[in-house]
Each structure stands twice: as structure tokens, then as C-alpha cells.
Amino acid sequence: MTPHYAVIMAGGSGTRFWPASRRNRPKQLLSFGGAEVSLLEATVRRILPLVPAERIIVVTAERLLVDTKESLRTVPGVRVMAEPAPRNTAPCVGWAASVISDEAPDATVMVLPSDHAIGDEPSFLEAIGIAMASATSGSITTIGIVPTRPETGYGYIELPRPAEAKIAMPVSRFVEKPNLETAKQFLIGGKHLWNAGMFFFRASDMLTAIASHLPALATGLETMREARQAGNEAESVTRIFPTLPSISLDHGVLEKQAGLAVVPGDFGWNDVGSWQSAWELADKDEHHNSLPPGTVSVDARGNLVVQSTGSQTPKLIALVGVHDLCVVETEDAILIIPKDRAQDVRSVIEHIEKSGRDELL
């Protein structure tokens, strides 16, 4: 049987969970929905039934290396690779595929984001099994999420016919984020799935595809491979990686590649994209509030209160007569924003950047 590997992409530095997320404490290192473990650790633990820890590779950014390793302390054996500079997903996946193909030329690889939540893990693992089988038979494969709402914030994967469960289907094309009208038609038509950034392939197939569509990347990867085999990997990665073309796997490779397959997935996927999503994932009381113990709540509904104050004693938070708010207390900041404005956290980041208070970013 072809050995299975997993590559977990964990270099993100999202700002959408400010003030809980920071430059050096991105979303994948936070926990949500009452979980004890970070999204990253949950992602790794979720696939342990399919891939042994020794064949799981987490790719992160150099500045996140220490915290990423710390977050994985309880899952010994997992390898962590650090990118010296962010170059989007194609160089990340290519580098990992190259490392894996040296080690196991016939390996089949799953690439997963580190910062999503999965509600129904058995169904998720089943979909991965189908996708890995499809990949092993030679098709670069993805999992597409069966839409539950006319979402305009995601890219879509189009099928030639309505999605069927538990099979790999051919991909007609990738579709950019649609407008609301189009998204509604997608939802009704049943032929469009959300692109969730999960990819499955034989390492050799991916390297071949990169050589076809991104020759500059292929050349860089080859230089790094030679250095690795000569025992000089670190120096080579530091020198070469930052020069690789900065492009996503979707745009750089997949959209140009024929014969892609997609497995429709329906397993309670949540991209944990904003404080709104965090509220959706959280346990809630009878008034739809998610509140830390001790919070005083009077005639308040639909609120999310998060306290992430490190070694500080969290303050008593009292909510009276407020609805559908997110309130986030950290060691140095308090955010108050309606759930349906959660995307606008980025405006706060912009204000802080302008004011030069970098310690708050």
C-alpha cells in the first residue's frame, strides 16, 4: 500500500480574531467552541486514525515556529517545517511534496488547512479516504463542501452534474467568489461546492503538475532538493524559498490542470472565519449567549464573550440589555462589535497600524 502523508498548512497570520489573534498568535494556535486544544492540534489529532504522526508535516512560518511546536507538544513525532518567508500555498505544497517524494517516492499526500473546524469527524475521515483513493489512482483530488447557504465569501468548484455523496466526481472548473445572486443559483442548482483548500495527490503527480504550470517553482524546488540531499537544506531554504513565485496552488496549478477530481463533503465544516463563526461553534445558553463562567447577563441575547487574558485574572463582564454582540477581552485590549459586523475587525487593525501601536497587532 502506498504510504499516506499529511501536510498541514499552518503559516497563516489571520487578523480576523483580533484581539485574541495577533501576528505571533494566529487563529490556528487558538481554540474555539469550548475546545481544550488549538485548531492546529485538533487538525492533527483528527487525522491520526489515517496517518501516523511521523508522516504528518506541519508547515508554518519561521516566526511561529516555537509556538507551533509548543502547540503540538502533546502529539510527539509530528514534523514541523518553517518557511523563511510567506510565498502563498504553491511553494509550500511543492516543498512538502518534494521532501515527501525523497522519502517515499510512491507517497500519496493530503494537504489540509490547520484552522478549520469539523463537526462530524467520521464523515470527514470517510471523505478523506475516498479522496486519497482517488489521488492514489492518479487524479489530483480535492474535497468540496456541500453549501448550506448562498455564501459570497468563498470560491466554488463546479461539477458537470449535481453532487453525489461519497464518490470522486470530475471537476468542471474553479469559480471565483460569486455575487449573492449567483451564489443563490449555485445553492439551488446543486452543482457547486465550496473550495475548502483540501488537496490530495501522489507526490510525484504534484511535482509533475508544478513542472508543467510553474516551471520557476519547479526549478527552485529542485535546487532545494539537491541541497537537501547534500546536507545543506537549511541554508538553501533560507536562500531559495523567498525567491519562489508567490502564488496559490489553486491559481498556479489546479486551475490549469486537467483531470481533477472532487469528493463532495458534508461533515459540519466551518472555516472559523470570524467571531460570528466562533459564536456558531460555541456552546450557548438558553438565551443563545456563549459566556465565560461568572459573566453576569441580564436581558442579553445572542452574545459571544471571550476572555483570553493569559496570566491576568479575567474581569467580571456584565452585559445588560445587549444583543448579538461579540465582546473579547485580552491582556491589553477589549473589542466590542456586533456579530454581523465581525468582518470589520480589519478596520480596527488598520486604525492600530496607522497609530503605530504595533504591540497591539
Residues near a second copy, by CB under 8 A: 19, 294, 296, 298-299, 313, 315-322, 325, 327, 329-338, 341, 344-345, 347-348, 351-352, 355, 357, 360
CA distance 250 to 54: 27
Nearer to a second copy, 14 or 338 (CB): 338
Nearer to a second copy, 102 or 332 (CB): 332
CB of 345 to a second copy, least distance (A): 7
CA distance 361 to 358: 5
CB of 344 to a second copy, least distance (A): 5
CB 191 within 8 A of CB 170: no
Most distant pair of Cα atoms in the chain: their distance: 67
Nearer to a second copy, 59 or 337 (CB): 337
Instruction: Establish whether the linkage from the previous residue to 19 is cis, with ω within 30° of 0.
Output: yes
Which H or E run includes 88? none
Q: Are strands 141-145 and 296-298 parallel, antiparallel or unpaired?
A: unpaired
CB of 302 to a second copy, least distance (A): 14
- Could you give the dihedral angle defined by the CA atoms of residues 106, 136, 245 and 12, in that order, rounded to the nearest 10 degrees? -110
Nearest to 143 by CA among 163, 115, 120: 163
Grid cell digits, residue 310: 493569559
CA distance 340 to 49: 37
CB of 304 to a second copy, least distance (A): 12
Chain centre distance of CA 189: 27
Nearest to 275 by CA among 312, 316, 308: 308
CB 45 within 8 A of CB 90: no
CB of 311 to a second copy, least distance (A): 13
Nearer to a second copy, 59 or 345 (CB): 345
CB of 310 to a second copy, least distance (A): 12
Q: Where are the beta strands (DSSP E) in 18-64?
A: 56-61
Please tell me what DSSP assigns to residue 63. G
Q: What does the radius of gyration of the chain's CA atoms come to, in whole angstroms?
A: 21
Nearest to 129 by CA among 59, 195, 51, 193: 51
Chain centre distance of CA 23: 16
CB of 9 to a second copy, least distance (A): 29
Nearer to a second copy, 96 or 317 (CB): 317
Nearer to a second copy, 259 or 292 (CB): 292
CB of 118 to a second copy, least distance (A): 29
Nearer to a second copy, 108 or 303 (CB): 303
CB of 27 to a second copy, least distance (A): 18
Nearer to a second copy, 73 or 354 (CB): 354
Nearer to a second copy, 135 or 337 (CB): 337
CA distance 102 to 222: 11
